[in-house]
């Protein structure tokens, strides 16, 4: 007659094995949902343009996705030194792919805001953070005098129902923003915490600052400039 304790242990082992297999299949399924090689249609044309433009060590580069792209930095700040290196739809992988253009110019400062499109495409938080670290290492190696500023990701607002893949990522946004603050505390770069200036009492992007729950209105861009100006990161010339 079989030992009851032995049979119970066998059942526990079998249950553990099943759970492990389920977890493995779930992980594989999640990993299959994202692709690091995706680039927006406009990507090559924008990169080609960036590479054709003159560079100066006095440049202040704003690097990112459509949030950066739609803000006319040189006009808003009244200074042609401010360069827009935003590409709509770009991800951290795309920024890494074109980062050499920024590094070769050896700008005085670079402001980075990137990651929301990664989240929309289900890129794991850990890989986004790894890409942040890679950006910092490459800039520090290729242009040591460039001051690096990472800006925290903004909240989103799902009440607009226009960019559904971008909404309801607040837990991931908080994870990435916390990671940026931890890295900044270690002296790798400076972090500018935009998030608190754009979030409402429910944790969503303030409606007056957005027209689709992700991108910023004129008031939103003006708030962005205000945060940077009040922090002494940029100077507004009129």
Domain spans in the chain, listed from the N-terminal domain onward: 43-230
CATH number of this structure's domain 43-230, picked from the four choices 3.40.50.1820, 3.30.450.90, 1.20.1290.10, 3.40.50.1110: 3.40.50.1110
What is the reported pLDDT for 148? 98
Residue 18's pLDDT band (cuts 50, 70, 90): low
Minimal CA–CA distance to 118: which of 161, 172, 155?
172
- Cα distance between residue 145 and residue 165, in whole Å: 38
Residue 19's pLDDT band (cuts 50, 70, 90): low
- Cα distance between residue 92 and residue 128, in whole Å: 7
Contacts of 37 (CB under 8 A, 6+ apart): 93
Residues 209-225 have a mean pLDDT of 98
- Cα distance between residue 232 and residue 4, in whole Å: 72
What is the reported pLDDT for 34? 82
* pTM for this model (two decimals): 0.86
Consecutive H or E run containing 64 = strand 60-64
Coil, strand, or helix at residue 140? helix
Return the beta strands (E) in 114-154 as ranges: 147-151
Residues 143-149 have a mean pLDDT of 98
- Cα distance between residue 179 and residue 185, in whole Å: 10
What is the reported pLDDT for 25? 47
Residue 29's pLDDT band (cuts 50, 70, 90): very low
CB atoms within 10 A of CB 187: 7
Do the beta carbons of residue 34 and residue 165 sit within 8 Å?
no
pLDDT in tens, 178-207: 999 999 999 989 999 999 999 999 999 999
């Amino acid at each position: 007659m079989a030992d009851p304790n032995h049979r119970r242990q066998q059942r526990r082992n079998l249950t553990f094995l099943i759970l492990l297999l389920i977890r493995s299949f779930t992980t594989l399924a999640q990993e299959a949902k994202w692709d690091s090689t995706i680039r927006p249609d406009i990507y090559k044309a924008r990169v080609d343009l960036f590479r054709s433009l003159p560079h100066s060590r006095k440049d202040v580069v704003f690097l990112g996705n459509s949030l950066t792209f739609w803000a006319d930095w040189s006009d808003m700040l009244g200074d042609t030194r401010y360069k827009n290196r935003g590409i709509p739809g770009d991800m951290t992988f795309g920024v890494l792919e074109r980062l050499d253009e920024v590094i070769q110019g050896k700008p005085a400062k670079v402001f980075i805001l990137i990651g929301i499109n990664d989240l929309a495409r289900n890129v794991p938080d850990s890989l986004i953070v790894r890409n942040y670290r890679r950006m910092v290492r490459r800039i520090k190696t290729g242009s040591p005098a460039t001051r690096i500023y990472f800006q925290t990701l903004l909240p989103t607002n799902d009440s607009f129902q226009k960019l559904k893949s971008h909404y309801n990522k607040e837990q991931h946004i908080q994870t990435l923003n916390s990671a940026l603050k931890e890295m900044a505390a270690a002296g790798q770069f400076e972090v500018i915490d935009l998030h608190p200036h754009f979030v409402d009492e429910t944790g969503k992007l303030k409606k007056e600052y957005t027209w689709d729950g992700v991108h910023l209105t004129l008031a939103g861009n003006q708030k962005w400039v205000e945060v940077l100006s009040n922090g002494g990161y940029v100077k507004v010339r009129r």
